[in-house]
Amino acid sequence: MPQRIVCQKCGNLLYEGQELKPPDEIIQKHDGKCPKCGKKLSYIPIDVEVKPATKS
Ligand SMILES: [Zn+2]
């Protein structure tokens, strides 16, 4: 199955190929942003909420 990475905002194709590449490598190739719309690229969502453990 070919790997395909597109911009989440504008749908611009950033990488397509048979070879599986680490997403951060592709992001780095584009200087961390979409060449078309300029959106900052992040493959893994980093807006994970960290909550303090609650005592039960
Ligand atoms: Zn884009």
| Contact by Cβ (8 Å): 15, 6 | no
With respect to residue 24, please indicate whether it lies within any of the assigned structural domains: yes
* Coil, strand or helix at 41: coil
Quick one: average pLDDT of 9-19?
Answer: 90
pLDDT of 7 over the 60 cut? yes
User: What pLDDT does 47 receive?
Assistant: 45
Distance 17 CA to ligand 1 centre (A): 19
Distance 53 CA to ligand 1 centre (A): 37
What total number of domains does the chain contain? 1
Q: Give the CA diameter of the chain.
A: 49
Domain that holds residue 39: 1-44
DSSP 53: P
Residue 40 has phi, psi (to 5 degrees) of: -70, 130
With respect to residue 36, please indicate whether it lies within any of the assigned structural domains: yes
Distance 40 CA to ligand 1 centre (A): 8
